[in-house]
Structure 1
Amino acid sequence: MPLKLSSPISIARGILNDTDAGGYRYSDADLLQYANDALDVMVGIVPQLFYQDIEYTCTANQAEQALSFGTYRALVDVLRIKGGGAVTRGDRTTLDDFKPGWRLDASGPAQDWMKVDDDPIRFLIQPPAPNGQILICKVVPVPAEYLATDDTGLPNDCADMIADYIVARAESRDAEHVISQRAQMFGQSFISKLAPNNQGG
């Protein structure tokens, strides 16, 4: 069952001993913001937890393509043409060396794709795209701002690590030395729980 942020928020309230709904020390809005902030951190460390397959409509007659800025963090792979064949990972340097004018070729179904250096959302396809070509792409989205009851699509076993992040953020607001130490401890716990998910990633 996919994770809702209400679950780690509830766990965090238990750790914070802040379970009296009549007088919470930390507001629902604050803890929800911390939970959403945790997702922003997680997507940078373990992007594979957030992978999605999407349909991307190519810009016609162009070799260079780009995902929507602000919606996607990175392109992972171009899998295939919708309703058509696979698209393989190519080598732009080799193509440039042996066929310098390839970007001006006649449009046709994509055969190869290549990343653009230092830009995670732009990519090249060869040959340039015909009208209406749709590619199935694997991407890393920018995490949405979820409500507590929204389905995040993440596995439920992420609840504890997100709760650790919430506790770390909540307790870091307190200036007491012992509380700041607890905040640091829970922040470290959050990172350590992410580490097994990052093996081979």
Structure 2
Amino acid sequence: MTVQDILDRLKVALVDESHTLWTEAELLGYINDALSALVIARPDLGFKTHSYNSASKSIEKPTDYYRFETVQSAGGIAIQFVDIHKLNQLEPTWRTATGMPYCWTRYDDHVDEVFLVPAPSEAIDIEIIYSAHLAVSIITDVLPVPAIYEGLILDFVLYRAFSKTGQGGSDMNKALSHQNSFYSTLGQKQQVDISRLQLQEKKENSR
């Protein structure tokens, strides 16, 4: 599914084949706004792996970084999260310690301030998973989300488009209808995904 596929459907829905009321660049901007809304609601849609080499205890944030998820490994070894309050009790000198990291932590009120513990004593390979800011730039770009989200993207773009022309009357009603459809469908899918995850966890825990 490409940006052009979305634009072709929008031409029909907006009855604007020649982009008289809404320019292609404008609709492209709305598509990017839709992608941002999706990632805010579903950060997993933007999950990426970032591998780098560093001796810093603070994680490196890629240019398309939106939100941190987890540290996969440090020095080729899998490491896990340890709550910072527990770490303060068990390892009060962790902030100045160096060596091979065995865990990672973060502050409660700064969830993107992530630290390896202890800080690497030398440069090592580090791998993290993060949620990326998703965007498209040209009409031949492939949309960076599964095709099942095409309807949601269309609803969001139509909501924004009709909001522009709907100072009152039918266009504003159309805008509100597409806005409600977007958030309602997104909420329903989130609930289904949560239920599926809970069922999967229940099966795994019963083994």
User: Which structure 2 residues correspond to residues 110-125 of structure 1 after superposition, within 5 A?
Assistant: 110-125=101-116
How big is the shift at 1:8? 2.2
Cα distance in 1 for partners of 2:49, 2:12 equals 36
Cα distance in 2 for partners of 1:146, 1:131 equals 39
Deviation readout 1:89-145 (Å, 9 max, x if unpaired): 11221111122112222322x211112323232201111123322221110112234
User: Which structure 2 residues correspond to residues 85-164 of structure 1 after superposition, within 5 A?
Assistant: 85-108=77-100, 110-164=101-155
Contact 2:64/2:133 (<8 A) preserved: yes
* Aligned position for 1:171: 162
* Aligned position for 2:12: 14
* Aligned position for 1:27: 23
**Which structure has more helix as a fraction of its residues?**
2
List gaps (5 residues or longer) in structure 2: 198-207
Matched, 1:73 2:79: no
SS at match of 2:51: strand
SS at match of 2:160: helix
1:57–1:75 Cα change, 3 Å: farther
Q: How many percent identity over aligned positions? A: 22
Cα distance in 1 for partners of 2:53, 2:11 equals 44
1:41 aligned to which of 21, 34, 37: 37
Contact 1:46/1:194 (<8 A) preserved: no
List gaps (5 residues or longer) in structure 1: none
Contact 1:67/1:121 (<8 A) preserved: no
What TM-score results when the alignment is normalised by the length of structure 2?
A: 0.83
Larger deviation, residues 146-155 vs 167-176 = 146-155
What count of residue pairs does the alignment treat as equivalent?
A: 192
**Greater RCO structure (CA 8 Å; 6+ sep):** 1
SS at match of 1:104: coil
Deviation readout 1:22-80 (Å, 9 max, x if unpaired): x633211111111011111111111111111111443x2x4343525x63121111111
1:168–1:176 Cα change, 3 Å: same
1:98–1:52 Cα change, 3 Å: same
Cα distance in 1 for partners of 2:85, 2:140 equals 48
1:147–1:25 Cα change, 3 Å: same
What TM-score results when the alignment is normalised by the length of structure 1?
A: 0.85
Cα distance in 1 for partners of 2:189, 2:140 equals 24
